[in-house]
Amino acid sequence: MAKILACSDIHNNLRAVRQLRSLEGNDFDALIVAGDIGSENTNEVFDLLQTFDCPVLYVFGNWDRRLGHRQKFGERCHHIHLSPVAVEGLNVVGESVDGIDPEWESLRLANDTGDPIAIAAARRKHIEQQRTELSTAVNAQRPERTIVVSHYRLTKTKAFLPDIPLFLFGHIHRFEDTTYRGQRFVNVSALDKKVIVAKKGLRAKQVGYRYINDGSYVIITHTERTGFAIDPRRFNPDFSGWDRIEGIFSSSATEVE
Ligand SMILES: [Mn+2]
């Protein structure tokens, strides 16, 4: 049996990672991060994730544009972009379209004629090329036992990854578990999920808004006999004494401890 913890969208929120750490034990075969780690305290985030005592497999998202594809964050951390890692009878592989990709950087320089249309065309070609590489890497070894991880939900997967049973993604901060044409798509949702609140009975406009982090993630188990089971979990913080404020995001709000 394989047991995997999958999360996403950390957005530099170290406290959210500490909360996750305090909620879960060391019985995972792997940890998966579906992007948006954040580039402000990346090393601290990975140091904490590595305390789970298992490989940390990640892809990049739009918050990770300043991070290098080949940057090293620790012995146990693996950027799984086009690069499968074996986990208890499964393979886990990913796709990063964000971050500093040395292959694209050299292509971009070679194509730098000052023509933005030519650059855009080269970029599209490069992404297509990566999809082909991903498809080749996946189909080379038991695609029916492979999990594909990306930050944005992949589309048209029946065309280039037809035998993959499970896709994990993030970016949209909402848990989702859907099956489409026999393939399962799970939004593992956000560890960093700030809910704006105001003290019950007080006039928020006068005393200011606060936030409570209601992060969520999933636990994935896999057995040969029963296939994949997805168990969504959340921090479930105590909202008693607070009113949730919908439709407002206050960047000056401080966290309720
Ligand atoms: Mn994102």
CATH of the domain at 224: 3.60.21.10
CA 238 / ligand 1 centre spacing (Å): 26
> Which residues are registered as beta bridge partners of 210?
197, 254
User: Does residue 226 lie within any of the structural domains?
Assistant: yes
DSSP string, the chain: -EEEEEEB--TT-HHHHHHHHHH--S--SEEEE-S---SSSHHHHHHHHHTTSS-EEE---GGGTTSBTT----TTEEE-BT--EEETTEEEEEE--SSB-HHHHHHHHHT-SS-HHHHHHHHHHHHHHHHHHHHHHHHHS-GGGEEEEESSPP--HHHH-TT--EEEE-SSSS-EEEEETTEEEEE--BS--EEEEEETTS-HHHH--EEEE--EEEEEEEETTTEEEEEEEE-----TTEEE-TT---TT-EE--
Ligand 1 centre to CA of 163 (Å) is 26
The Å distance, Cα 120 to ligand 1 centre, comes to 21
Distance 37 CA to ligand 1 centre (A): 9
Per-chain residues with Cβ under 5 A from ion ligand 1: 36, 61-62, 171
Task: Report the pLDDT value the prediction gives residue 123, as an integer from 0 to 100.
Answer: 92
Give the range of the structural domain holding residue 20, as residue numbers without chain letter.
2-193+215-237
The model's pTM: 0.94
Q: Is residue 230, in this structure, part of any structural domain at all?
A: yes
CA 200 to ligand 1 center in whole angstroms: 32
Helix axes 102-110, 116-140, angle to 10 degrees: 140
Domain count, the chain: 1
Distance from residue 196's CA to the centre of ligand 1 (Å): 20
Alpha carbon of 203 to ligand 1 centroid (Å): 33
- Non-local (6+) Cβ contacts of 209 within 8 A are 196, 197, 198, 245, 248, 250, 252, 253
Residue 208 placed within a domain? no
Position 251 in a domain: no
Residue 27 lies in a domain: yes
Q: What length is written for the chain?
A: 257
Q: pLDDT value at position 37? A: 98
How close is the Cα of 52 to the center of ligand 1, in Å? Answer: 24
Tokens at residue 221, please?
């188990």
Q: In tens digits, what is the pLDDT along the chain, a chain of 257 residues?
A: 999 999 999 999 999 999 999 999 999 999 999 999 999 999 999 999 999 999 999 999 999 999 999 999 999 999 999 999 999 999 999 999 999 999 999 998 888 788 888 889 999 999 999 999 999 999 999 999 999 999 999 999 999 999 999 999 999 999 999 999 999 999 999 999 999 998 888 766 666 889 999 999 999 999 999 999 999 999 999 999 999 988 888 888 999 98
Residues 173/193, Cβ–Cβ less than 8 Å: yes
| Ligand 1 center to 127 CA (angstroms) | 18
Distance 81 CA to ligand 1 centre (A): 16
Q: What is the pLDDT of residue 252?
A: 85
Which one-letter amino acid corresponds to residue 114? G
Say if 209 falls within a structural domain.
Answer: no
How many angstroms separate the alpha carbon of residue 18 from the centre of ligand 1?
Answer: 21
Residue 151 CA to ligand 1 centre (angstroms) = 7
- Give a yes or no: residue 96 inside a domain: yes
Residue 214 CA, ligand 1 centroid: distance in Å: 17
Q: How far is the CA of 40 from the centre of ligand 1 (A)?
A: 15
In a domain, 55, yes or no: yes
The CA 92 to ligand 1 mean position distance, Å, reads 20
For position 113, what pLDDT does the model report? 81
Cα of 63 from ligand 1 centre, angstroms = 6
**What is the Å distance from ligand 1's center to 154 Cα?**
14
Q: What is the dihedral of CA 215, 43, 90, 101, to 10 degrees?
A: 110
* 236, 239, 245, 246 alpha-carbon torsion, rounded to 10°: 30
How much is the pLDDT for 108?
87
